[in-house]
Amino acid sequence: MKQALIYFEQAVQEFREHGTYKEERIITTPQGGRIDTTAGRNVLNMCANNYLGLASSRALADAAKDAMDRWGYGLSSVRFICGTQALHRQLEEKLSSFLGMEDTILYSSCFDANGGLFEALLDERDAVISDALNHASIIDGVRLCKAKRYRYQNNDMADLERCLREAKDARIRLIATDGVFSMDGIIANLKGICGLAEKYDALVMVDDSHAVGFMGEHGRGTPEYCGVEGRVDILTGTLGKALGGASGGYTAASRAVVALLRQKSRPYLFSNTLAPAMAGAALKTLELLEAAGEDRVQLAENTRYFRARMAEEAFDVVPGEHPIVAVMLYDAKLATAFAARMLELGVYVVGFCYPVVPQGKARIRVQLSAAHTREDLNFAVDCFKQVRAELAAK
């Protein structure tokens, strides 16, 4: 065996020994509030990004089929060659209208949207100022650009202002943040960020993947929720969470920013366009969001109830209002064992540990959905209590 392959095998073994090896469970049904897996039937699913319960929507499946029948299976091309259909422009225009932005550009994922953003807009004369808990896609996108990099502590406005002062000589200053920090369910202080951006003539970029569709009165995400609509310059997001749960991402911004991305953004220029079925279903999702008020209310009620029950039972939960509920366990092996036992009891959750979260910050990340019932939530809390007692007794 080649020496390099031996090193790789040793690295994999180290993940197993440290209790951080990530097993992939097999689901045998469509995504939903309850699912079947190869390990059990009718399992309560508490870790999908299926916030509004749309992943198994019959209306979205029908819209995808209709789009495939009319527009075909795929384009076999990138957008600027022969990969743009009227369907793609229709979706971009609809997203722009929904988000209150001038224009939108589609990507195959939000990871690609973030990966193709910074290099296209910034060079060595500029500065990007990034929250310490930003998603890996923002971190990787920033690494690709030549701008000077600054990092401020999570949601710390004083530290952000320090960075802005240090970057005062940059041509362009761009503040980059998640709208919701996905490992903790913490909502970004967008009012504070936008205020500092205006004070220091900086742009604001928000990845709103864990908010678009359900946060804010109309589901327009954290800018609406935080009362800063019109003050965020660049919004990235995904179609793969609340907006149907399939694939696709976008960047919404001014016409000038989007036009520049169409000319320079490498994931856009060198990746096949979004499949017609995905675009058609996304258009249907945006239509459904106009009447999704009850689902948003149900999701908020589920979130409040579950958080309150877990607090009553004295679980160590990161405080907040978001349907991401981080149940802190700190030890990687404990988190892995905890999740495995929960599945045996009928609750599908996953242990999150390094390198997904920092060393010593292992957790179970619960994600609530509008598809969950009150009975589901009580069952989940009871299972958490049972597993805690079992593992404490060992």
Strands 324-330 and 362-367: antiparallel
| Beta carbons of 200 and 189 less than 8 angstroms apart | no
Q: Does the active-site annotation cover 247?
A: no
Residue by residue, DSSP assigns 161-192 as: HHHHHHTTT-S-EEEEEESEETTTTEEP-HHH
Which tokens hold the place of 70?
């009319």
The DSSP letter of residue 227 is T
Q: For residues 375 and 380, what is the distance between their CA atoms, to the nearest angstrom?
A: 9
Residue keyed to tokens 């310059």: 233
Which tokens hold the place of 257?
């920013």
Q: Does the active-site annotation cover 199?
A: no
Q: For residues 95 and 286, what is the distance between their CA atoms, to the nearest angstrom?
A: 8
Q: Which of 57, 108, 130, 182 is catalytic?
A: 182
Q: Which of 135, 241, 322, 372 is catalytic?
A: 241
Looking at residue 82, its amino acid is C
Strands 234-238 and 173-178: unpaired
Q: Which of 135, 210, 284, 372 is catalytic?
A: 210
Q: Does the active-site annotation cover 210?
A: yes
N- to C-terminal Cα separation, the chain: 41
Which of the residues are catalytic? 182, 210, 241
